[in-house]
Amino acid sequence: MFFIRILLLSVLSGAALAQDPPRIKFTLDWVIDGQQTPFFVSQGKGYFAKEGVSVTLDVGVGSAGTVLRLAAGTYDMGYGDTSALIEHMSKNPDPAVRVVAVYLTQDATPAGILSLKKNNILKPKDLEGRAIGGPAFGSDRKLFPIFARAQGIDLRSIKWQNMQPGINFSQLARGQLDAASGFPLFQVANMEAMGVRADELVILNFKDYGVNIYGNAILVNAKFMQENPKAVAAFLRAYNHGLKETIANPDQAIDHVRQREPTINVAAELQRLKALIQVIATPNARANGLSEPNRGRMQRQIEDVGMAFGLEKLPEVDQVFTPVFLPPRADRML
């Protein structure tokens, strides 16, 4: 009888384990702020659980860090920049460290240049001969040649000043720089906190000046994707649900970020979230659906990034992005 009980317990335990939801270790691209809202809506409203996956959301260290974490297998899925992914694929063609984009969240890059009206930089060509501050390896600065080519800017005339992210914007506010590179849409609240009114700012978003590339996407470790295809698809269904709700009602959605990080400045992060929605819910996304793949556009991005980053060997479109795990197009319409 004792052995029968042990056997029965073992069978029941095995059945319980078989029913445990797949676990996904997910790395964000940065700290917890308004830009991460869709993930916390999906988690807070139980959409991941309803789709049968258990998701852990960890803070990130930048898009390049996301790609490296996934390539190393430290994380299963993550959120990061498609241009950083293209660079990684170019420099690391080994399938063992392959990372793939599976949901193109940002239909346009948020990268650009921020300046002040008093600096008399009102259009892209006005940047010639000026001092621009930014991190040397930031995607915004690395994408600048694409913007410059589209606008006929003489790259040799730009006086770049290397500095840490954030410091360039504080120096711009103090009048020590002509302009700063970064994600200017997300910096308005920070500039206001430093005493610069929104109506004093000049924002030159690359997306408005001929840079037609995707921004951040959901990325996945290729080995995890191959071994857990149902879990990847389930994650994307839940995420898509949370993303659409965030776009529809950002004022309510931001509360899920506050619940995870009670110390945030809700007003500032709501402003950041609404800026994020501008690069997600673009006219193209509203007409064709969120993450609607366009091979021609992705191919041009690979070529543009290759030129701007000085890459020698470029990956194929299918190596960078696969649409096979996306929810049906009808579910991705706004």
The neighbouring-strand residues paired with 113 are 181, 204
For residue range 313-323, what is the model confidence (pLDDT) as tens digits? 999 999 999 99
Dump the DSSP string for 244-271. HHHHH-HHHHHHHHHHH-TTS-HHHHHH
Domains, the chain, in order of start with CATH, read: 23-108+213-332 (3.40.190.10), 112-208 (3.40.190.10)
Q: How many helices, marked H, and strands, marked E, lie in the chain?
A: 16, 10
pLDDT of residue 305: 97
For residue range 173-187, what is the model confidence (pLDDT) as tens digits? 999 999 999 999 999
Residue with tokens 């996934």: 70
- Cα-Cα-Cα-Cα dihedral sign, residues 282, 287, 292, 295: negative
Strand arrangement of the beta sheet that strand 131-134 belongs to: 159-162, 131-134, 179-182, 112-116, 201-205
Contacting residues for 197 by C-beta, under 8 A, at least 6 apart: none
Coil, strand or helix at 68: helix
pLDDT of residue 2: 31
Side chain identity at 32, as an amino acid letter?
I
What is each CA distance from 44 to 5, 182, 238, 253, 309, in whole angstroms? 40, 30, 11, 10, 38
pLDDT of residue 19: 59
Whether pTM > 0.85 for this model: the answer is: yes
pLDDT of residue 34: 96
**Structure-block tokens of residue 222:** 């290729």
- Rounded CA separation 293/320 (Å): 12
Give the distance between the most distant pair of CA atoms in the chain: 88
Mean pLDDT per 10-residue section of the chain, whose length is 334 residues: 37 47 95 97 98 98 94 97 97 93 98 97 97 90 96 97 92 96 94 96 97 97 98 98 98 97 96 97 97 96 97 96 98 98
